[in-house]
Chains A and B, each alone.
Chain A
Amino acid sequence: MLNFLVRRTVGAILVIIAVTFIVFVIFIVVPGGDPAQRIAGKNATQQNIVNIRKDWGFDRPFYVQYSKMMQKMFSGELVSYTSQQNVLDQIKLGLPATFSLAIGAGIIWLFFGIVVGVVSAIKAGKLSDRAITVLALIGVSMPVFWLGIVTRYYLAEGGLTTFFPDGEYVAFTSDPLQWFWHLVLPWTVLAVLFIGFYSRVLRGNILDTSNEDYVRTAKAKGLAPNRIMRKHILRLSLIPIITLFGLDFAAVLGGGAILTETVFDLHGVGQYAYESINNFDLPPIMAVTMYAAIFIVVFNVLVDLFYAFLDPRIRPA
């Protein structure tokens, strides 16, 4: 176990180093033109650009540029040259909204994904299964931002009703009830896509597992169908779902729910990145991308350790 832990951690550190290189390449090497000008943003003066060039080492070799970038990223002194705000502070401000969105939506989509998947597998081929398949298909085929705009219009802005609050995030610490109430729509919208996808995957897995010999044995010895489903089929079928969930949940926590955050004005980390795109303000996008990737790598290591703890077969020899 210790061996596995060490190997997994070393691997993760290597991936993180590669991630920082990719961010460096994306933002500084690949785009054409003067990187100083790009980092400086839209309304930069000539003096600003000269300062940035010197500060980031753009007149020096690339390894100096890389180390300067790393210094800025991890010392927490990265500033947006357009708004003069500290990037790390802004990201910290967005974290509660992003985490609230991810955790609530994650619970909803995991729960309903499993319930819908099990129901449609039990009813496979019947009318209810077909209806679920069609709905799931539409769910995965809908642009999440469009669904967000439309639900917000109909349920919050008065298209049908103004029952739900119209966007914005309320801190949990200031008013838990309002926090919940403001997040109901974003949670649901974000969850719809995943419910559609998970239920389809789970349905397929359950149907595959049902054909296994050990399930036939369980049936033959007269176990109740409910018990077979719970104890024998679901246990195996849920493993891929949990893997998927680990990856998707990490992505959403890391700011991947940028569309939902933007549409519902939640002012999370993703929306911070979105606002920076429209100002051609690169440092925040750089920071969000890099922190998200690092976060996901770390999160995946934790999930792997959790697995190894649960299932000894996953531990490599």
Chain B
Amino acid sequence: MAQQATETEFTLDTAAELAAHEEPEAIRGRSPWYLAWRRLRRNYVAFFFLFVFIVVVVACAFAPVYAKHVAGTGPNTNHILENVKVNGKETPVVSSGGYIDPHTGKLCPTSQSGCKLVASIPIGPTWFGAGGKFVLGADQNGRDIAVRLLYGGRTSLFIGIFSSAICVFFAVILALVAAYYGGWADFTITRFFDVMFAFPVILLGIALGSALAINGFHHFGINIQSGSIWIPTLIISYVLVPYIGRPLRGQVLSLREKEFVEASISQGASPLRVMFIELLPNIASSVIVFFTLIIANNILLETALSFLGAGVQPPTASWGTMIADGQNLIVTRPWLSFAPGLAIIITVVSLNVFGDGLRDALDPRAKVKVSH
């Protein structure tokens, strides 16, 4: 005979009894997206860095406003021969050069040993001393660094985001086609990936960048002039397609064998329908994570190509070209290369952290990794 449970005694029924006393609540169906959102919502670090990234994007979006109303100059306007009032004192934007002490960055008498000859020295950061002009100083052509930093951010972010979108788009299509059709299609596409993997990313980018830098690209009805920022955008998206396409193909390949695909085909679904309505939603979470992480990667690649002269062409500002411009003046005017470098780090770190958070939220067991 079962023993009667007293009120203080713990029985196996306690939890169920307690539940019975509560308001009956219908069990709600929750979509995977809702569950992912709930996991993401608790990740405050990821949200903080998403916020940082949005701040960077908004700041760069308002570059023209800053240029017009605060700095009063454009990103490519030279002020070599002009003076600016800093704290009420007239200062030349670019002073004629002289001998510079490499330790302090100050002028030194010619006779002193260990001093470097510098052709011209732009004004350093004025911070708030010149009413918003040359807040971070000027470069060798007398261009306002703060203005160029914001415009450079527009270029770098534009290339980063659009090249990622284009790259992911083509990688998804190639992965779906390769894994769905198999056979010759798969063979051709995977061999294409193999060949691309043979080239170091940066060398392939340089090869394309320097080949297209002279006359631009004019094929398949697409006409891009040399110097357009679409050239680095397309180069970067092309170069990275296999790095996304290959892991996605692997995922689709295993999905392809699942019953729901068989069911769909047996119901007479067309290949396009199977690929884009049945298979694509199942790899959507990986695609989103890849997209976020590859933006960070592409911003780094763009700055590297531009730094080497095979990406964004002068005088267009980008964070990479700015570092290249500031390289020779690092001793006297470190901010010329520090400012764009810090901007890159902040942007890329925030994208990486948010991307990792997104990955953890969308698929806690996923092993999506973007190769560098």
Contact = CB atoms under 8 A, between A and B. Distances in A.
Interface of A: 14-15, 18-19, 22-23, 26-27, 30-33, 38, 137-138, 140-146, 149-150, 153, 157-159, 162, 193, 197, 201, 204, 244, 247, 251, 254-256, 258-259, 262, 273-274, 276-278, 280, 282, 285-286, 288-289, 292-294, 296-297, 300
Nearest to B326: A149
A19 B198 CA distance: 8
A247 to B, nearest CB: 8
Nearest to A284: B210
Contacts of B344: 141-143, 146
Interface in B96-155: 102-103
Please classify the interface of chain A as helix (H, G, I), strand (E, B), loop, or mixed, using the class held by over half of its residues.
helix
B212 A30 contact: yes
Contacts of B341: 142-143, 146, 149-150
Contacts of B198: 15, 19, 293-294, 296-297, 300
Given A137-B349, A143-B323, A292 B203 contact: yes
Interface residues of B, number: 55
B214 A33 contact: yes
Contact of B304 (A14, A254, A259): A259
Given A158-B102, A251-B200, A289-B204, A150 B337 contact: yes
Interface string B292-313: 0000100010011001111000
A31 B215 contact: yes
Given A149-B327, A157-B330, 20 more contacts: A19-B199, A27-B207, A33-B215, A137-B353, A138-B349, A142-B341, A143-B307, A144-B304, A145-B304, A146-B341, A150-B338, A150-B341, A158-B103, A159-B330, A251-B201, A256-B200, A259-B202, A277-B309, A280-B213, A289-B206
B217 A30 contact: yes
A277 B200 contact: no
Interface string B329-350: 0110010011011001100110
B191 interface: yes
Contacts of B345: 138, 141-143
Nearest to A22: B195
B208 interface: yes
B39 interface: no
B30 interface: no
A280 B210 contact: yes
Interface in B211-249: 211-219
A8 to B, nearest CB: 12
